Amino acid sequence: MDKSTQNVIAFLQTSHPYDVLPLDRIHDLAAQFSRKTYQTGQVIYAHDEWLDGLYLIKSGTVEITDVNGVQVSLLQRQNHFGERGLLRTGRAATTAIAASDVVVL
């Protein structure tokens, strides 16, 4: 197992709801995560775009805004986002912008 996968496993073991899963399941999930970085102000996804998947913040802060640009939430380490769109149509229900330099899984 490479160092990157080991880092993802260690992070998932401290992040709810993954922290309650059996270790073998966490190992399986870790292989499905990829790491992406965004600079402050960079759009992670915009309203109505197709989503690549669920996002989990490893470091940094992400601002979520509604279709009118009004802030809905300000998310930090270990928070998820993108689930609303994934559960509906697969298209983003909000816009996600890096409020600081961000690493997401």
pLDDT number for residue 2: 83
Rounded Cα distance between 51 and 11, Å, is 23
Above 90 in pLDDT, residue 1?
no
pLDDT number for residue 63: 98
Q: Quote the tokens at residue 18.
A: 């993954």
Q: What is the pTM of this model?
A: 0.91
Above 80 in pLDDT, residue 76?
yes
Q: Which residue has the tokens 């994934």?
A: 86
Give pLDDT tens digits for 14-26: 999 999 999 999 9
Above 90 in pLDDT, residue 71?
yes
Give pLDDT tens digits for 3-55: 888 999 999 999 999 999 999 999 999 988 999 999 999 999 999 999 989 99
Which residues lie closer than 8 Å to 31 by C-beta, 6 or more apart?
5
pLDDT number for residue 67: 94
Secondary structure (DSSP) of 28-48 = HHHTT---EEE-TT-EEE-TT
